[in-house]
Structure 1
Amino acid sequence: MALWIHADITAQGASCPGCTCWSVRVHSRYQRRLSDAAVGGTETLICLRVRRFYCDNPDCARATFAEQVPGLTTAHARRTPLLRSMLERIALAVGGRPGPAVDPPLVGDGIQDGSAAVDPGTADARTRPGDRARRR
């Protein structure tokens, strides 16, 4: 089960990322799907209707460009910046260990303040340094 959010961007135009010229000439539209942070433990997916614009600057190398929503989208990304930063913090906290090494509620206080609680004692024995040598 997932929470789907369908949205359209209502800005009149967009700024070209190549030359920063403002454009209102729409080239095309397409659907973009983004994963976002879970809401109430439910996966959140954003279905965003995005426009491509023509860049009217003859000196710009870009013929067309897609509009971006600051804080929500980045070029070619399939995750929101919020979800990406949460996943990065989890990856840094577990340091390559399997998932059970992380305190189970991943969206608890540890993630919100920028640090995830990892108890090395709860890690799988195969992943703790030195255990492999002791078992042989």
Structure 2
Amino acid sequence: MKRLKYFPTQDYSFLLDENHYVYDHVENEDSLHIYIKSREHGCCCPVCGKMSHKLHATYMRKFQDTPIRCKQTFLHANVYKYDCENPECECKVFMEDLPFAKASQVRTDALNTLVLAVSMFLSNEGASKVLSLLGVQISNDTIQRLYDRIEFIDNPDVEEIGVDDVAIRKGQTYATVIYDLRDHHLIALLDGRDGEPLKEWLKSHNKVRLVARDRASAYASAINEILPDCMQVADRFHLLQNLLEYMKDIFKEEMPTKLYIQNGKVSESAPDKILKEKTPDNAILDSLHYDNTSPRNSDGNELFYDNKKHNLNSAQYQHHKEMREKNSN
């Protein structure tokens, strides 16, 4: 008997973490249910921060996770509650923190990220329909609630920022975005793009020493007024945009409006037209043979077709003939 060199694995650390494992799963026609269990491990109290290993009880939580094979996927987690071992702490019992979902959350962090990524380029209703095809059941109102919970954490000590405008509704509503140049995360979203909201924001962020901005004069004026010693630079996108515009102007001035290529050479004047009569290939015509024999199928049997003959002497055809002659005159 040949010995197998491949063996099934029970390691699901790539799916969860070292403190949780999968012990069962149930697959239906349109859904997949994965059952996971917490291993005994220590957990820090969310109030006092002291590590606790004293188990209080277990409880069940259910999450919708990213779909597998376009099936709606759920995680059924059997997790622990802990007793805080600090007698002076106000919190007596707390629930363990899960690495894949926040407290009181019915979707995993990975699924929320997927939902926000899809809805970023679609409307909430459109994203809901696209996600349903992938195996995620979520309504447009729930997607909006996810957006409403997003918070921009401002940093009053930031020193290097980027400023640009974005369209909330193209052609109608615009906003000013401010992000940290070091890690490019968003720290502020201001209404309008006329520079006034940026002035108010800069007044409370006087440690800013470098601003990467677009070419809008409103932003330049606001920065010069509030932080005259701040260095302003153009970001890479707008530098490249400036370069392309200058190159277009150069090409328009230096290059003629029309270029002609003949025999691999460029000419500024149009080449003379050479009239050449197109003749059929006689060799191809000679290879074609037509006759009036009836068509036959692969078995050699004759194929019969309904050959409808038109009565050119009928009133309808005579009327059409008169109309063609009338229009031609």
Q: Which has the higher contact order (CA 8 A, sep 6+)?
A: 1
Specify the code of the residue in structure 2 equivalent to 1:12.
Answer: H
3-state SS, counterpart of residue 19 of structure 1: coil
Q: Distance in 2 between matches of 1:33 and 1:100?
A: 21
Q: Would the aligned equivalents of 1:29 and 1:52 in 2 still touch at CA under 8 Å?
A: yes
* Distance in 1 separating the partners of 2:112 and 2:134: 14
- Across the aligned residues of Structure 1 and Structure 2, the Cα RMSD in angstroms comes to 3.1
- Corresponding residue number in structure 1 for 2:116: 88
Q: How does 1:102-117 map to 2 (within 5 A)?
A: none
**Partner amino acid, structure 2, of 1:25:** K
1:93–1:102 Cα contact (<8 Å) kept:
no
SS of the residue 2:121 aligns to: helix
Query: Which residue does the alignment assign to 1:114?
Result: none
Q: What SS class does the counterpart of residue 28 from structure 1 fall into?
A: strand
Structure 1 residue 65, shift from structure 2 partner: 0.8
Letter in 1 for 2:114: M
State whether residues 94 and 102 of structure 1, in contact with CA within 8 Å, keep that contact through their aligned partners in structure 2: no
How far did residue 12 of structure 1 move?
2.2
Pick one of 89, 92, 107 that aligns with 1:60: 89
* Paired residue total: 109
| Residue identity opposite 1:80 in structure 2 | T
What amino acid is the match of 1:93?
Answer: F
Q: Secondary structure at the match of 2:57?
A: strand
Amino acid at match of 1:51: Y
| Structure 1 residues 102 and 3: alpha-carbon distance in aligned structure 2, compared to 1, 3 A threshold | closer
When the two structures are superposed, what TM-score results if normalisation uses the length of structure 2? 0.30
Equivalent in the alignment of 2:56: 27
Q: Is the 8 A contact 1:30 1:50 kept in 2?
A: yes
The residue type paired with residue 52 of structure 2 is S
Q: What TM-score do you get using the length of structure 1 for normalisation?
A: 0.66
Name the CA distance, whole Å, in 2 between partners of 1:100 and 1:89.
12
Equivalent residue letter for 2:102: T
Q: Percent identity?
A: 24
Residue 112 of structure 1 is matched in structure 2 by: none
The answer for the alignment partner of 2:45 in structure 1 is 16
Mapped to 2, the partners of 1:64 and 1:106 lie a distance apart of 39
Asked if the contact 1:14–1:24 (Cα under 8 Å) also holds between the matched residues in 2, the reply is yes
Equivalent-residue separation in structure 2 for 1:5 and 1:92 (angstroms): 29
CA shift digits 1:6-62 (9 cap, x unpaired): 111113221112222111111211111011000110111000001111112133232
Q: One-letter code of the match for 2:94? A: F
| Structure 2 counterpart of 1:76 | 104
CA shift, 1:106, in A, is 6.0
Among 51, 59, 70, the alignment partner of 1:41 is 70
Three-state SS of the structure 2 residue aligned to 1:49 is strand
Where structure 1 has 5 or more consecutive residues not aligned to the other structure, the ranges are 108-128, 130-136
